[in-house]
Structure 1
Amino acid sequence: MGTTWEQFMVVQPLVAKMLTNSIKKNRISHAYLFEGSKGTGKLDAALQLTKSVFCEQRNGYEPCQLCRNCRRIMSGNHPNVHIVKPEGTSIKKQQVQTLQEEFAKTGVESNQKVYIIEHADRMTTTAANTLLKFLEEPHTGTMAILLTENSHKILNTILSRCQTLTFQPLVKHAMVMKLEEKGISKPFALTVAQLTNNIQEAEELCNDEWFAQARTLVIKLCEALGDASSLFFVQEKWLKHFTDKEQIQIGLDLLLLIYKDLLYVQLNETENITFIDQQSLFETFSYSQKRIVSALSNILEAKNRLNANVNVQLTFEQLVLRLQEG
C-alpha cells in the first residue's frame, strides 16, 4: 500500500495542501520542481501525484492504491510513466532525447503522460538545454516532475517554467510515525529521530546491527558509572565498538540523550523521554539536577574536543572520570 495524502499532510503539510488543492480544482501544473534535502519524501510525493492523475477510482484527491494504474505506478511499470535517473554521475542528453521520443508516440491507453527526473541538478548542460525545449513546448496531458536537493544548480530558465515546491526537513513526530509505519519499534524510532531528520538515514540506522549494539552499550556505560568498573568498560567495550570519529560522535549524542532523559525524569516530564524502554532504570538513578547539567556540559565539551583532533581514548577516559565525579 502506498502513502496517502492524509499521511503527507502530517509530514509535508504545505506541499500536500498545495498539491491536493490543485488536484481538487483540476489545475495541475505541466511542470513541478520538488526541492528539499535527502529523505524528505520528494519521490513519494511525485508518485502519489502521478497516481492521483492516473487512478481509475479516485476518491476526491485520494488515489485508491488498488486499481490497475495505481498498482503499475507503484511497481514501476506503467507505460506512460517514466523515471529518469543519473547514469553514473550525470543525466545525459541522450536520456532526455529518449524520453522525448517516447512522449512523441501516441499513448496506447491515454494521452496523459508523466516523467519524473531524479537528481535533476545532475543534468549535463546539453541535457538541461534539451529538457528546456521540452518544457517550453509541452505536449497536452504531459506532466514533468523534477526532483532535486540542489535547486541552485538548475538553469534559471528551467526553474522559471516549473512550479517549485519546497520540502521541509521532517519534524520529529512525523519521522517517528514514518518509522513506526515501516515496522520499527518506538524506542528505536524515537532515538534516531533525535539524531537525524533524514528518513533514509534514520531507516539505515534502525536496521544497522552496529547501531543497536551502540544504543545498548551507552545504557550499560551509564550503569557502569555507578562503580569503579567504568574505565575498564570504556577500554574493553566502548573503544572497541566506537572506532571512527563519526561513530564516537553518535555514541556521545546517545549519551547526551540519556542525560537529557535523566533530567526529564527529575522534572517529572517523562512524556519527553527518548529512551522510553529505560524509564524504570533511569528512575533508580539518584542524580541531582546540578550533576546532570554538569554531565551535559562535559559531554558537549568532549564532542568539541574530538572535532579538534585530540587523543580519542584520553578524551573519553577524562569524560568518564568527570561523569563519575559528578
Structure 2
Amino acid sequence: MTWNEMREIQPLVAQMLVNSFKKERISHAYLFQGDKGTGKREMGALFAKSIFCKEKEGAEPCLQCRDCRRIDSGNHPDLHWISPDGQSIKKEQILNLQKEFSYTGLESNRKVYIITDADKMTTNASNRLLKFLEEPSRQTTAMLLTENSQAILNTIRSRCQILAFQPLNSDRIVQQLEGQGVSESNARILASLTNNLSEADELQQDEWFANARKLVIQLVEVLLNKPQEGLLFINHQWMPHFKERQQIQIGLDMIMLWFHDLIHHNLGREQAIVYIQEKEKRNQAALRWTRQSVTHSLSLILEAKRKIDQNVHPTLVMEQLTLQLQR
C-alpha cells in the first residue's frame, strides 16, 4: 500500500506519520491502537518501508527496491516482527530481540521492531520491554500493535506516541464487497459484523454464514409467531449450527443487527437498515416490539454476549435470552 491509500483508510494516523518524516521527528516508539482490521499491521509495514527504502521520494517508498521487497516477504534483516508464541508474548522473545539489537545493523545502523498483539505480553515480557524503552536509541524505532491498549502497562504507554486507528467506514467495505460480486444484502450484514475486508470475504465464502443468516431470520419468525416453540428451536436448530463460542458471538451480533434495524425503521432511517430483504417481517416486528422493548432487547443480547465471554454454558445462555425476548 502507498501513503495515499493509507490516507483513505486512516487519514489522521497516516498524515501524522508522514509529517514525522517531513519534520525528521520519528519517535523511538509508537503504540498503534484500534480494532482488528483497521490497518495497523499494514501501516507498520509501510512505515518500515519509508524508514529503510533508499529510493523513497519524501515519505513515499518506491515499493520496488530490495528493501521494500524484503519487508513484504518478511526477510528484512533489520526489521523484526514479534507475535504471541501460543497464547502470549514471553520474556524470552523480548530478550532475543534485545540480543539482536545489540549487534550492528546488517544493512544500516537503523533497526525497527513491530510487536503485534502487544497486550498479550506476559508481566515479565512487559517489564523487560520497559527497560528496553527506557534506554532508547535514536536509530531504533518500535511499533506496538494492539486492540486493547488498556491491557498494556501505563509505564510502556507513557513512553510511546499513541496513534488511535478509527473503525473503517462500513460504506467503503460494502462497496468493495459488492465490487467482488457479493449481494447488497449480504454486503451490508458482513460490513456490520467486521471491519476487516478479508474476514468479511472469508465469511461470505463459507456456507456456514449463509445458514447462520437463515437461522437468525427463522428465530425472529419463531419469536413473532410461535414463541412457545422458542426453546425447541434453540436446542434442535440453533445450537447444532452455532457450535463454537466465536460462532455464537457472531450469531448474537446478527440478532443485534435485526433489532438495530427495528430502531432505524422506527426513526425512518431506511438507508441504515441491514436486513434489506426482510421488509415484511420488519413491518410485522415493528407492531410487536416498541422502541423501548427493542432497546431492552439489545441490552439483553449484550448481556448474553458477556456471559459467553465468561464461559457460561452456551445453551443456557441462549435459552435464557430466548425466554427474555419472548416477553
TM-score > 0.5, shorter chain as reference: yes
Matched-pair contact (CA < 8 Å) for 2:264–2:273:
yes
Q: Which moved more, 1:299-308 or 1:266-275?
A: 299-308
SS at match of 2:290: helix
Q: Which amino acid letter does the alignment assign opposite residue 233 of structure 2?
A: V
| Aligned residues of 1:120 and 1:154 also touching (Cα < 8 A) | no
> 1:16 aligned to 2:14?
yes
The 5 Å alignment of 1:75-224 reads 75-123=73-121, 127-128=125-126, 130-148=128-146, 149-151=148-150, 153-154=152-153, 156=155, 158-168=156-166, 170-173=167-170, 176=173, 180=177, 185=182, 187-195=185-193, 205-206=203-204, 208-220=206-218
Q: CA separation of 1:178/1:60 partners in 2, compared to 1, >3 Å: closer, same or farther?
A: farther
Q: Is the 8 A contact 2:91 2:128 kept in 1?
A: yes
> Which moved further from structure 2: 146-155 or 238-247?
238-247
Aligned to 1:47, which of 41, 45, 48? Answer: 45
Deviations 1:119-167 (A, max 9, x none): 44554566555544543444443212223434554262x4443323233
**Separation in 2 of the partners of 1:65 and 1:127?**
34
Match of residue 272 from structure 2: 272
Matched AA of 1:218: V
SS of aligned partner of 1:194: helix
Contact 2:33 2:163 in 1 (8 A): yes
Task: Tell me which of 50, 66, 69 is aligned to 1:68.
Answer: 66
**What is the match of residue 234 of structure 1?**
233
Distance in 1, matches of 2:132 and 2:320, equals 60
Q: Deviations over 1:65-89 (max 9, x none)?
A: 3333222112211111111234345
Q: Distance in 1 between matches of 2:324 and 2:120?
A: 46
- CA deviation map 1:238-276 (0-9, x unaligned): 454346787566545434534554675687644222134
Q: Find the aligned partners of 2:91 and 2:138 in 1 and give their Cα distance.
A: 23
Structure 2 contact 174–188 (Cα < 8 Å) conserved: no
Give the letter aligned to residue 96 of structure 1: I
Query: In the alignment, is residue 296 of structure 1 matched against residue 290 of structure 2?
Result: no
**Cα 1:265/1:109, change in 2 over 3 Å:** same
Alpha-carbon offset, residue 224 of structure 1: 7.6
Once residues 189 and 10 of structure 2 are traced to their aligned partners in structure 1, the CA distance between those partners, rounded to angstroms, is 21
Q: Which 10-residue stretch deviates more, 178-187 or 124-133?
A: 178-187
User: How far apart are 1:38 and its partner, in Å?
Assistant: 4.6
* Match in the other structure for 1:34: 32
Query: 1:231, 1:317 within 8 Å by CA — same for their partners in 2?
Result: no
Matches of 1:229 and 1:138 in 2, distance apart? 63
CA deviation after TM superposition for structure 1 residue 116, in Å: 1.5
Letter in 1 for 2:279: F
Letter in 2 for 1:154: L
Structure 1 unmatched runs, 5+ = none
8 A contact 1:15–1:165 mirrored in 2: yes
Question: CA shift at 1:22, angstroms?
Answer: 0.8
| Paired letter, 1:191 | I
Distance in 1 (alpha carbons) for counterparts of 2:221 and 2:285: 16
Deviates more, 1:209-218 or 1:266-275: 266-275
- Tell me which amino acid in the other structure corresponds to 1:43: R
Rg larger in structure: 1
Q: What is the alpha-carbon distance in structure 1 between the residues aligned to residue 120 and residue 285 of structure 2?
A: 54
How has the CA–CA distance of structure 1 residues 183 and 49 changed in structure 2, closer, same or farther, with 3 Å as cutoff?
A: farther
Question: Does the 8 Å contact 2:70/2:76 carry over to 1?
Answer: yes
CA distance in 2 between counterparts of 1:44 and 1:263 reads: 36
2: CA distance between counterparts of 1:136 and 1:42? 24
Instruction: Report the alpha carbon displacement of residue 206 of structure 1 after superposing the two structures with TM.
Output: 4.7
1:72 is paired with a residue whose SS is: helix
| 1:274 maps to amino acid | V
Q: Give % identity.
A: 46
Aligned positions, number: 314
Relative distance call for 1:31 and 1:182 in structure 2 (3 A) is farther
